[in-house]
Amino acid sequence: MDAPFLIHTDGASRANPGPAAFSYVIERPGEPDITEMGRLRDTTNNVAEYTAMIRALDHAIRIGGRKVVLRSDSELMVQQMSGKYKVKNEGLLPLYRKACSLVAKLESVKFEHVRREYNKRADALCNEALDSRAPFFPLPTEDAEPSAAKPPIAPAKPAGDETREKALAYLKDAVQAWVDEGDEKEPSPEAVLDRLWEMFREAK
């Protein structure tokens, strides 16, 4: 009987929504561990967590994985992928459907929620990515494969109308975080206002 791949994933967003990153560790019996991490443009914790899971599942499938045990400290994501919670947030639905399409390609997948202290390696990689100046990775979509061969998106500083669009997108993400059931890290209105003010000051 083939032993399953053991995967630890993590996603984080500072200010939620704000600068974000993903990471994962794939442990295979008798093989070296595989790790990946990367930065994401401003988004929420939950989107970052789903991105980590999707990229990890895709990677496992590409290297021949058929059985997976995936561990994450995101209880919301684990419960949603286990079918215990419904996905009510429209912003997460495309990512949830993408994850389900990957799960369908595997023989078996078990999702396990673990406390952060049991997810230290993925957590450390995620923080390392957040602190880096590496290029941004794109978010996975339902139609596109999140292949590691895709080039990251080069960072660019918004200006003028682009700043307005970025601020509007940030505000929409903040509202999404407030209504996202189970997300305990949503930003306060004061934090959102401060972040928007900082955006416009940087654009001057």
For residues 112 and 169, membership in a common domain is answered with no
- Closest of 57, 141, 148 to residue 106, by C-alpha: 57
Residue 9 lies in a domain: yes
C-beta neighbour count of 61 within 10 angstroms: 17
In terms of Cβ atoms closer than 10 Å to its own Cβ (0-12, 13-18, 19+), residue 42 is buried
Residue 63 lies in a domain: yes
For residues 125 and 198, membership in a common domain is answered with no
Could you read off the pLDDT tens digit of each residue along the chain, which spans 204 residues? 589 999 999 999 999 999 999 999 999 999 999 999 999 999 999 999 999 999 999 999 999 999 999 999 999 999 999 999 999 999 999 999 999 999 999 999 999 999 999 999 999 999 999 999 999 999 998 666 665 545 565 555 444 556 666 666 666 666 666 555 555 556 666 666 666 666 666 665
Instruction: Report the chain's terminal Cα–Cα distance, integer Å.
Output: 62
For residues 11 and 78, membership in a common domain is answered with yes
Could you say which DSSP state residue 136 is in?
Answer: B
Phi, psi of 70 (to 5 degrees): -110, 125
CATH number at residue 49: 3.30.420.10
Task: Provide the CB-side half-sphere exposure for 162 (13 A, CA).
Answer: 7
**How far apart, in whole angstroms, are the C-alpha atoms of residue 161 and residue 71?**
41
DSSP 166-191: HHHHHHHHHHHHHH-TT-TTPPPHHH
Residue 179 lies in a domain: yes
Residue span of the structural domain in which 97 resides: 5-131
C-beta neighbour count of 112 within 10 angstroms: 13
For residues 118 and 167, membership in a common domain is answered with no
